[in-house]
Structure 1
């Protein structure tokens, strides 16, 4: 091929940027354009990681270095399915990689889950992370809250609900989020896991961070510290599980302190019903017991909890992309080694996928590197046989977006927005203050 291989990546979060990194480092001459629905890059890092996790957000520095490379371009504020479609991308690129992640909440099928006062964790995360497409206000009216789930997202939600707004003021939270949290009357947050301590999906660091707040007492109940043979096998086989279990055991035997807020970690409680009428007034759980292999079964013993809000953190779900096959059960794009498959399980020529929309929303951010490596290997192996696009010139996509009137942002524009947010932070002795409104983000990115 006398020209560079042209690749479009839809999604400029970690999965998309890792894919760009591997393609750019390959022996094949490649020019790469990333298309991102948000005006700013970094996806989950910007809009899915709790603001009090600066170590995780440090991943941005590595991603930044990738986007700094001359062979990689960013087109932000471009919505696939609205601003451009698959045929448009095929007209300009040899291959297209979908790396759009998972940003919506998985459903939980229990009675009352749709009552007012029952929320999805993803929606709440989007609010406190300043996502431009969610309302600016959040109804923080409950003094006692239930969080359903035993993973890191559940802990993030519980921690943000329990901490004082002033504790978070040093982070990048927008002013509207600070005001909302400052007015919250919450005193107790209850986190419910269906299984036991050895089956919890928390990472040790995430769990220990709960106990760092001077205002939040973390409470674990001795009766919830139970293990069967399956649990012991999990503890012996995983240092991470062992660390989580030891932390929970230590907390279960200590004397309660006097911090003004309480974060309760409950195990062996399966959510059975969200109680209430016009809004949530309680949660009913069924006590579960271990079955010997690390699984649990219901005991028929129910407990009602006095809570006024329920947040479900039972998993994220990817959205169906226009013109792309989708498995609605798993919430993923059907594929073989990253090659997208149609309904007849034939490869969709030149179309690939990576990240959470490929394998489901499991694992840590770094795990997307393995996904990207597999997908890139498939794409490069296919490259000699891919049909050439009609308009392969690098300027052709610029003309297309201009003709469509798409107010796209660029990597240089992100530099302007980044500098602006940092200047807002400097004025308040903070690292940055996040700009929330989409139109304002675009205006600043365009230098207007």
Structure 2
């Protein structure tokens, strides 16, 4: 039996882990658009949170321990290099685990005279940049010459941005296993940003950041009083809300009292009940206009990060297999009983591609395990001697002699596609670690696909 997996982040790996537990003989081919695996674990988790990235070791071990059953094909884009319809025809089941590739939109104009304002940046672009993903120059580090920045949205990604930009520089050198790129460190060290406003549409208790992230930030960056102050007069109901108030009150009681914090002259501030309606500026943003307490207010800023969440996007090829995609939620619709994507015969989805961009890796793992069980049930029910997984009748794969992916590989090779195999990735991985050791970090990443392919020549 054969399973094709589109994407190689946590949702993909956890689903495969579960499916293999139920169907030990399953052959798996993982198709990854980028040159490196692991999805948002590599490109979305902040460099100062190496403990969150530890799951990469488990994912790596999974493939290393199962070379006869799991094949990794990097630098392969479904819909461009090979179609989803082909995968559906050639494999017993297909799993889509591509995450949420787009950004939620504010719904307000970001242009003057038909040109986008410089300095209004989706948070994802900046997160990609500080995680070493520099393909396409999505973020211009020269924007960090600003004095004041604004983040619209107050989830954990917003706090990550504050921490990355305003933490004392020495901290980056003190973090064990930090993988902040040298070019990124250089850009942050030249940053002139002194203050960041973190703006929310609703109140403190509706904010999306977790107390764990909040506490970490309060130990690093001075926080100015909440605006409006009346937010602190609201009676907390849940245990989580009570903890938020306790942490804020801890600023005045000396709970956060360390030399690193005392030495930091930068600051951030939460601002609530502000709904953005307009960006001001000629070529570069100079202010954000909000509705606040029934009035229009304009607050100056030099740089804006929009951090209101990621959004799944419909991919090329969904129509060809009948996949039902909800544009409002940005998710593939699954049959709750079978896990199959509505409108398809053998396509499944896990992680943010199916649930939307909410929840940490633990939530993704839970969803992936459920989907892995359903895939295993489907494969076991549809296993027969005439299925395409009949290994004796299929040709050997030139990439991995133990996995029958001849059709898919032939399609890719006919297009002269440079596939990055698992062995290729291991070479890149070892080189990143080697370069990191030279500068005292866990790794020094390849920042573009071109750099990776050049090294592999």
Using the size of structure 1 for normalisation, the TM-score is 0.86
Distance in 2 separating the partners of 1:227 and 1:408: 58
| Correspondences of 1:276-295 after superposition (within 5 Å) | 276-287=281-292
Map of 2:400 onto structure 1: none
Map of 1:437 onto structure 2: 448
CA 1:173–1:88 in 2, change beyond 3 Å: closer, same or farther? same
Of residues 299-308 and 364-373 in structure 1, the stretch that sits farther from structure 2 once superposed is 299-308
Map of 2:382 onto structure 1: 385
Give the 4+ runs in structure 1 shifted more than 6 A: 252-256
Does residue 45 in structure 1 map to residue 47 in structure 2?
A: no
Does residue 322 in structure 1 map to residue 321 in structure 2?
A: no
Distance in 2 separating the partners of 1:308 and 1:185: 11
For the 8 Å contact 2:7–2:31, the answer to whether it is kept is: yes
Match of 2:357 among 348, 356, 361: 361
Distance in 2 separating the partners of 1:245 and 1:389: 59
Unaligned runs of 5+ in 1: 288-298, 343-347
Does residue 57 in structure 1 map to residue 61 in structure 2?
A: no
Of residues 98-107 and 409-418 in structure 1, the stretch that sits farther from structure 2 once superposed is 409-418
Task: Give 1:112 deviation, angstroms.
Answer: 4.1
Does residue 89 in structure 1 map to residue 82 in structure 2?
A: no
Match of 1:176 among 183, 197, 210: 183
Map of 1:244 onto structure 2: 244
Map of 2:128 onto structure 1: 126
Map of 1:157 onto structure 2: 161
For the 8 Å contact 2:92–2:389, the answer to whether it is kept is: no
Task: Give 1:302 deviation, angstroms.
Answer: 4.0
Task: Give 1:54 deviation, angstroms.
Answer: 1.2
For the 8 Å contact 1:7–1:95, the answer to whether it is kept is: yes
SS at match of 1:217: coil
Task: Compute the RMSD of aligned alpha carbons.
Answer: 2.5
Task: Give 1:26 deviation, angstroms.
Answer: 0.9
Task: Give 1:53 deviation, angstroms.
Answer: 1.0
Task: Give 1:38 deviation, angstroms.
Answer: 1.0
For the 8 Å contact 1:196–1:227, the answer to whether it is kept is: no
Map of 2:303 onto structure 1: 309
Distance in 2 separating the partners of 1:226 and 1:353: 42
SS at match of 1:119: strand
Does residue 108 in structure 1 map to residue 109 in structure 2?
A: no
For the 8 Å contact 1:224–1:268, the answer to whether it is kept is: no
Per-residue CA deviations over 1:368-391 (Å, capped at 9, x if unaligned) read: 122212222322232233783489
Q: Greater relative contact order (Cα 8 A, min sep 6): structure 1 or 2?
A: 2
Distance in 2 separating the partners of 1:43 and 1:140: 26
Match of 2:437 among 407, 410, 426: 426
CA 1:404–1:80 in 2, change beyond 3 Å: closer, same or farther? same
Distance in 1 separating the partners of 2:308 and 2:341: 27
Using the size of structure 2 for normalisation, the TM-score is 0.84
Does residue 99 in structure 1 map to residue 93 in structure 2?
A: no
Q: How many residues align?
A: 418
Of residues 409-418 and 78-87 in structure 1, the stretch that sits farther from structure 2 once superposed is 409-418
Map of 1:217 onto structure 2: 222
Match of 1:75 among 69, 73, 76: 73
SS at match of 2:330: coil
Does residue 24 in structure 1 map to residue 20 in structure 2?
A: yes
| Structure richer in strand, relative to its length | 1
Distance in 2 separating the partners of 1:16 and 1:395: 18
For the 8 Å contact 1:15–1:354, the answer to whether it is kept is: yes
Match of 2:147 among 143, 147, 156: 143
For the 8 Å contact 1:103–1:122, the answer to whether it is kept is: no
For the 8 Å contact 1:166–1:182, the answer to whether it is kept is: no
